[in-house]
Amino acid sequence: MLSRSAERHLEKAKEFVSKGDEYYREAGLEIRLARAQDATWAEISRFMGKGVNWVQDVANMPENRTTPEWRRGSHATAKEIEAGAKKLLSKDPSKLLEDPAVVAAIAESPEATATLMRAARAVGDRVEETESGRFAESNPSFARADRLLTILTRLANARSAVVKSFEELQDMVLTEDEGEKVLRFAQYNEGAAVLLVAFLTGESVDFDELLAEEV
C-alpha cells in the first residue's frame, strides 16, 4: 500500500506529466522519490494510470536527454496517437490495429485510448456527413421524403405530448399559479398550430411574431 508521502510525490509526477513531454524529467524525479518511499513499480503504475514500462522509462530518463528512451510499444504521446489515428483512419481503418506496437501503446495509456476514440469518432462523423450529403444530392426525391417524414414525426410527437399532458393533468389538483403556467404553455403551442394551419391552407402568415414570443 502506498504511503502518504509516496502518494504526494506521485501526485506531483502526474501534474508534471499533464504539462507535456518537456516536464518528464521532473516527473521522473518524483517517481524515483516515491520509489524511495518503498512504492513498488506496480503501485506506481496503477496510481499514474500508465504501464510499468512507461513509468520505469520516465524514472530512468538519462540526464543528457530531453525525453525518455522509450522501449518499443511502451509510449506514444497524445499528439502522436491522434495524428497517426487520423492518418490511418482516413486511408484504411482496417490497418490501424495491425501494428503490435500501436496496440501495445494504446493498451499502456488510457489517454491514448481516449484520444484514439475521439479521432475515430471525428473521422467517422466526417465520413457519414459527406456520404449523407452525396446521397441526398444524387437522390433528391429520397431527401425530400426524409425531410417530410421528419416534419410529420415532429407534429405527431407534439400531438402525443398534448394528449399525455391532458391525461396526467386529470390526476392532479393544480394551484392557481400552476394552472396559469400550464395554460400559458398550451396557448403558446395553440398559437403556433393556428399559424401552421393558416400557412398550409394558403393564408398569408408572419411567423416572426411567433418566433419572438416567450413562454
Q: Which range among 99-103, 171-175, 180-184, 203-207 shows the weakest confidence by mean pLDDT?
A: 99-103
With b meaning 16 or more CB within 10 Å and e meaning fewer, what string describes 73-99?
A: bbbbbbeebbebbbebbeeeeeebeee
For the stretch 117-152, pLDDT in tens is 666 666 666 656 666 566 556 666 656 666 777 777
| pLDDT for the residue 10 | 95
Of all residues in the chain, what percent carry a pLDDT higher than 90? 13
Report whether 64 contacts 119 (CB < 8 A): no
Q: Which of 127-131, 146-150, 177-181, 187-191 ranks highest by mean pLDDT?
A: 177-181
Between 119 and 158, the more confident residue is: 158
| pLDDT for the residue 32 | 92
| pLDDT exceeds cutoff 60 at 17 | yes
For the stretch 19-47, pLDDT in tens is 887 888 899 899 999 999 989 998 998 89
| pLDDT for the residue 6 | 93
H helical segments located in the chain: 4-19, 24-36, 41-48, 52-59, 78-91, 100-108, 110-138, 140-169, 176-200, 207-212
Amino acid (1-letter code) at residue 204: S
The Cα 82–Cα 112 span in angstroms is 8
Instruction: List the domain boundaries for the chain.
Output: 4-59, 78-136, 140-212
Q: What is the pTM of this model?
A: 0.37
Give the model's confidence band at 12: pLDDT under 50 very low, under 70 low, under 90 confident, else very high: very high
The Cα 98–Cα 103 span in angstroms is 8
| pLDDT exceeds cutoff 90 at 169 | no
| pLDDT exceeds cutoff 70 at 97 | no
Cell of 3: 504511503
